Amino acid sequence: MSAADAGFWLAQAGAQLLAGALAWFLGGAAHRRLRISHAAFGYWLALWLLALAPSLAASIWHLSGAAAPAWPLPSGLPLPRLDAFADDAAPAQAAEAFAAQPVVDLASATLALYLAGVAWSLARWLRDSLALRRSLRTAHAAGDRIRGARSRRESQALRARGVRVLLSRDAATAFALGWPRRSVVVPAALASNLDDAQLALVLRHEAAHLRRLDPERTALMRLVQAALWFNPFLRALAARVQLAAELRCDAAAIGADPAQRRPCAQAYLNTLRLAVGRAAPAGASAFTRRRDPGQHQLRMQHMLHGDDRPRLRPRARLALIALALGGSSALAVAQAAAGGDPPRIAARAPAAVAAHGADIAAASAKASAAPPGKANDDARAAPDAGPQAPSESIALAVPLTNTRITSRYGVTGGIRVRPHRGLDFAARRGTRVYAPAAALVVAATDRYPEGERYGKVVVLDHGDGWQTLYAHLQDFDVHEGQRIAAGAPIGRSGASGQATGPHLHMEVLHDGQRVDPEPLLR
């Protein structure tokens, strides 16, 4: 993994943590301020989805292959120079400090750490799934073992909908299972300790989980959290989503009959006593799980006294929806502006081209009578000749849709120790680059001879001794020896090589001598 790859994915991780923190703290503050019900399942699920906004945006752009949107900026806006250290601006000693190998090693170590975290999260999920399977292997159909009239009616109603009702010797708590077959599993010990009304409430609670597809939703959320294991805010939000799901299923079990409140609370206490010291099957919707005492107390309060927090008024709901949409839009804009498209693995040029510039010259000779070795001259450390005045000119189109130039040919001063060798165009990462004229591709490589600081490079030969070079690309769409027409896409701008920000660096050579590209652009 290259430094550009590492920078992109670290930006995604930072955006993910920032979004999770904002959703957790701002969402929690709004929940307390507006006294939103703890059973507001949609509210906490929306916050969990908002925390995923950066990762969802990056995944959609990556899978679609679309370039990151480039929003126009006011030309008069004073922006920091991102290309100040680009190209050959720094002396050789400073260039050595930007050697790529330590960055690649650090990037590889970061990738290994991330994959190890994913593997650990999936291993824990597999362990829980195996424990669930063990509980199912000891389970058998409830049948006539459920003797109470209310419990039998609930069991028959479940079977009529194609749901199995099972009694298990190993289960620590009752839970609903959505796959491979929809089932409600009740510990045999719990069924024998509950009276008819209490057992009927337990079955009604799990039936509510199945109606709301909670087992499937829980599994999907856990899979996402395995991929984003490094975000503690996402886990905290998921816990609130699950608590809200349990509270609404408690309310569904009790219904509109206040007489069911105390039996439901008693069934919950009996389940807690049975589950002490035993792990509940993770990944399934359970009547109870081992949580902090505050959540147990909250559930008991809801069972005995109902929800003391009123529902949100329509105006408050609209305000929260508008705030959530505005926040997610801002996150998407920031994500596109900062991250752009994920770096893609570009095809490597042949080793012979990477090894020596003579091979590039040989490919160029097929298209024109230009002297060999022109494409290599840019990477050498010899002092540049001044602007040339070639007898024959060439008309070149601007290679980008954006024509804002950030650094011109021959510029010196600041930290530059020699004149700038080309033009720098403002371009966000992933902006499409086009051929300025018909040409033969003589180089398309990330191993440009004697010029690692240029990153990914494309060199075009336009005939009559004219060549153009494009550096710091994110990737390229052409290959060596390919003939292309004017306006054909050749790649996308980026920040590969030694550059402190995304932009496009363009150079023009005539008979091996660099010339100012700006007068040639039409």
The domain locations on the chain are 351-520
**Are β-strands 439-445 and 483-484 bridged in parallel, bridged antiparallel, or unpaired?**
antiparallel
Report yes or no: 279 and 131 within 8 Å, Cβ to Cβ. yes
CATH no. for 351-520: 2.70.70.10
Of the ranges 101-115, 333-347, 353-367, which is most confident?
A: 101-115
Q: How far apart are CA 286 and CA 272, in angstroms?
A: 12
* Range of weakest confidence among 60-74, 95-109, 338-352, 453-467: 338-352
- pLDDT digits over 104-142, tens only? 456 677 778 888 999 999 998 888 888 888 878 888 887
CA distances from 44 to 30, 219, 331, 458 (A): 11, 17, 18, 49
**Residue 80 pLDDT exceeds 60:** no
* Percent of all residues in the chain with a pLDDT value above 90, rounded to a whole number: 15
Pick from 136, 140, 125: which is nearest to 175 by CA?
136
- pLDDT digits over 176-203, tens only? 888 878 888 888 888 888 888 888 899 9
**Cα pseudo-dihedral 241, 247, 248, 251, rounded to 10:** 180
E-assigned strands of 74-159?
139-141
Predicted TM-score of the model (pTM): 0.59
Q: Is 262 helix (H, G, I), strand (E, B) or coil?
A: helix
Tokens of 7: 């920078």
Report yes or no: 431 and 437 within 8 Å, Cβ to Cβ. no
Q: b vs e for 461-483, b when ≥16 Cβ sit within 10 Å of the residue's Cβ?
A: bbbebbbbbbbbbbbbbbbbeee
Pick from 348, 392, 349, 353: which is nearest to 370 by CA?
392
Please name the residue ranges forming H helices in 173-309. 188-193, 196-211, 214-227, 232-254, 261-275, 293-305
CA distances from 391 to 340, 377, 378, 511, 518 (A): 42, 21, 21, 11, 17
pLDDT category at 414 given cuts 50, 70, 90 is low
Going 520 to 71 to 456 to 486, the CA torsion angle's sign is negative
What per-residue confidence (pLDDT) applies to 77?
29
* Range of weakest confidence among 77-91, 221-235, 265-279, 349-363: 77-91
The helix (run of H) or strand (run of E) holding residue 461 is strand 456-463
Query: What value does the mean pLDDT of the chain take?
Result: 74
**Are β-strands 164-168 and 183-187 bridged in parallel, bridged antiparallel, or unpaired?**
parallel
pLDDT category at 42 given cuts 50, 70, 90 is confident
Report phi then psi at 483, rounded to 5.
-95, 130
**Angle formed by the axes of helices 41-51 and 314-338, to 10°?**
10
Residue 223: alpha-carbon gap to chain centroid: 14
What per-residue confidence (pLDDT) applies to 450?
54
